[in-house]
Amino acid sequence: MFARVNRWPSLKPEAIEDFRTETVPAARRMPGIRELLLLFDRETERAISISLWESREDMLASEPAAQQLRDQDVQTGLASEAPVVERYEVVVREGAP
């Protein structure tokens, strides 16, 4: 499993609903998507979005569409600037018992 992590320096609170209504449905149509998370600090308005992918190939194939979604957030003013994007292999994942 692989993860793409977007570190947003500033994201408006309205971006939370946009993530639910725009980003999640768009991502669900991408082959290999497993899970999506949005972490948000309401005091600083910093955010981290994480997408988990079945394979590295699936994650990389989704890059153009993911970039388009990130660009939209900046163009619409939901984000003040583009996020720092990082990619990782998930080496341990443990759910609650």
The domain ranges of the chain are: 2-89
27-86 per-position pLDDT tens digit:
999 999 999 999 999 999 999 999 999 999 999 999 999 999 999 999 999 999 999 999
Model pLDDT, residue 97: 76
DSSP 46: -
Put simply, whether the predicted model's pTM sits higher than 0.85 gets the answer yes
* Both tokens assigned to 34: 């497993």
CB-based burial label for 45 (10 Å; 0-12, 13-18, 19+): middle
Model pLDDT, residue 95: 83
> Taking residues 90-94, what's their average pLDDT?
93
Pair 73, 24: CB distance under 8 Å: no
Instruction: Fold for 2-89, please state it.
Output: Alpha-Beta Plaits (3.30.70)
